[in-house]
Structure 1
């Protein structure tokens, strides 16, 4: 299944020409990883600790957003919000996943070109204090059938 993936980061424009995501950065792949410590295996009651949230990483073709990502990373400049949108490509394209990050600092910019690549790519890493995920259910007609959401404030260790 084809995917269209975009990220909108306030203050840093991309080159997307998509009618709904014009000026955003087109994303090739992304990664969000969280883990929870637990002592379930030790037989001591099964309590949970504070979760560990890794940086959000995404890869894109080097484009006009590259200097902005580098500048924000070098300066430690804060970004209020970034929104990643994933859409099923073709037909009745449904935007079915939205990840919203808030209070962001770019922690890494890694441009790379290998001779197997057609175009140079870049991996960008974002540290954030709040995350919200919205998943849109799809009915048999391909339309939205409701949304399931979850959010977390990492600094406050609280659900949002």
Structure 2
């Protein structure tokens, strides 16, 4: 099974990733993101009348040089113009970015610091919402190179595909 790595670039912040393709990005320890739709199957004859709601993006990273800037952004109520999240799959000669999400109008909505005892890393959990996103999935071929891709763009405020 191929190894996977995750990175995020928020605005012009300079992260501490040492990955050759992600210098200056933030190394992501774990992440979650999704959407939900409360259909109306219990009302009337159909179950597809609800509108999907995109959830905030959550990720965890080690405390680094971006930490105070992210906190400052949250406390001042400012937004970042964009953020880019990438999942990298290592399995062939060159790593493949197999999942990429580009966010626009990024607003940090939550920040929490934590630490591990006995030499564990000090981390922070960050949550942000956003106005628009474009997600792209790229398959990895049997030889490890990039294959076909598909994408979805969405405006969360207007509830329309972009």
* TM-score, length basis structure 2: 0.91
The structural deviation recorded for 1:11 is 2.6
1:8-23 map, 5 Å: 8-23=9-24
CA distance in 2, matches of 1:106, 1:9: 10
Deviations 1:52-77 (A, max 9, x none): 22211100011111111101111111
**Contact 1:3–1:89, Cα closer than 8 Å, also in 2:** yes
Equivalent in 135, 138, 154 of residue 137 of structure 2: 135
Gaps of 5+ in 1: none
Asked if 1:153 corresponds to 2:139, the answer is no
Q: Which runs of 4+ in 1 moved over 4 A?
A: none
Deviations 1:79-111 (A, max 9, x none): 111000110135431110101111111011111
**Counterpart-to-counterpart distance in 2, 1:133 and 1:68:** 26
- What's the CA shift string for 1:91-148, capped at 9, x where partnerless? 4311101011111110111110132661101001111011111000122111111111
The residue matched to 1:50 in structure 2 has which SS?
coil
Which runs of structure 2 are paired with 1:58-137 in the superposition (5 Å)? 58-89=59-90, 91-92=92-93, 93-115=95-117, 118-137=120-139
Contact 1:16 1:22 in 2 (8 A): yes
| Kept in 1: contact 2:84–2:101 (CA 8 A) | yes
Specify the SS of the correspondent of 1:118.
coil
> How large is the Cα RMSD of the aligned pairs?
1.6
More displaced stretch, 26-35 vs 89-98: 89-98
Query: What is the match of residue 57 of structure 1?
Result: 58
Count, aligned residues: 160
Q: Classify 1:116/1:44 alpha carbon distance in 2 versus 1 (closer, same or farther; 3 Å).
A: farther
Matched, 1:2 2:12: no
Q: 1:118 and 1:89, CA in 2 relative to 1: closer, same or farther beyond 3 A?
A: farther
**8 Å CA contact retained: 2:91, 2:144:** no
